[in-house]
């Protein structure tokens, strides 16, 4: 009989790559062809907000037609069936896309924010927004014009929900990282925290991550194949 587990799942760009969304650090990644200092920092936004808004508006347009792949669907199944067994799945993603939600996952913690949310730099108000970001937008909370930015975490900014994440790590029976480079902190340090707590760890990735040595188990291959395989093992298929 399958045992109920509290599973902490960390996902990165690799889980969405097969849905047509580029990763960041691969040879054809977003930061290979774009200057992250200009497009993913508060300073870059201050220098040229129009350019930054245009970049994230283009990413929204791509996301609009992207569909969840077999890896997203397998994780949604894991959440549903593990919850029914009396366990839980805490899905913490570094991704700003909404493909986990589109796949049916009910609870997703976006530690790096959400591309489909707009934030006001004046009052910090935020709202769901899938359209283009423009200087003409009016904040629905404070009425200020020209203060919108994407609700994503840029370099130099603090990731979100860290208290919830730390608590979930402490309560986990298993830690799994999927499609992550293992090079972006603090997420890259979660496996070390899990090991210090005596929690078994597993990496699922298309290739070895920067911190692959820290994992007890490693599964290499396309996320659309390996995630479903792993979920099947956990659920006793």
Catalytic residue among 72, 105, 112, 151: 112
* Residue 172 C-beta-side C-alpha neighbours within 13 Å: 30
- The answer to whether 183 and 20 are in contact (CB under 8 A) is no
Secondary structure of residue 169 in the 3-state scheme: helix
φ and ψ of 123, to 5 deg: -115, 0
- Residue that has been written with the tokens 């929204």 in this structure: 60
End-to-end CA distance of the chain: 11
Residues 6+ apart with CB under 8 A from 113: 96, 150, 151, 152, 153, 160
Does the annotation count 112 as an active-site position?
yes
Active site residues: 112
């Amino acid at each position: 009989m399958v045992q109920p587990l509290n599973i902490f799942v960390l996902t990165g760009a690799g889980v969405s790559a097969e849905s047509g969304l580029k990763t960041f650090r691969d040879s054809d990644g977003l930061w290979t062809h774009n200057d992250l200092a200009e497009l993913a920092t508060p300073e870059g936004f201050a220098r040229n907000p129009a350019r930054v808004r245009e970049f994230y508006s283009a990413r929204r347009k791509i996301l609009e037609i992207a569909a969840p792949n077999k890896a997203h669907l397998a994780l949604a199944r894991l959440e549903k069936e593990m919850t029914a067994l009396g366990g839980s799945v805490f899905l913490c993603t570094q991704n700003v896309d909404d493909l986990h939600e589109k796949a049916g996952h009910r609870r997703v913690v976006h530690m790096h924010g959400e591309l489909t949310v707009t934030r006001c730099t004046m009052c910090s108000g935020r709202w769901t927004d899938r359209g283009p970001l423009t200087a003409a937008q009016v904040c629905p909370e404070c009425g200020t014009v020209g203060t919108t930015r994407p609700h994503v975490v840029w370099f130099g900014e603090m990731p979100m929900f860290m208290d919830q994440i730390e608590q979930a790590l402490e309560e986990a029976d298993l830690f799994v990282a999927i499609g992550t480079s293992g090079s972006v902190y603090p997420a890259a340090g979660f496996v070390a925290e899990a090991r210090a707590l005596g929690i078994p760890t597993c990496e699922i990735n298309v290739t070895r991550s920067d911190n692959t040595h820290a994992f007890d188990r490693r599964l290499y291959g396309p996320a659309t194949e390996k995630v479903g395989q792993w979920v099947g093992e956990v659920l006793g298929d």
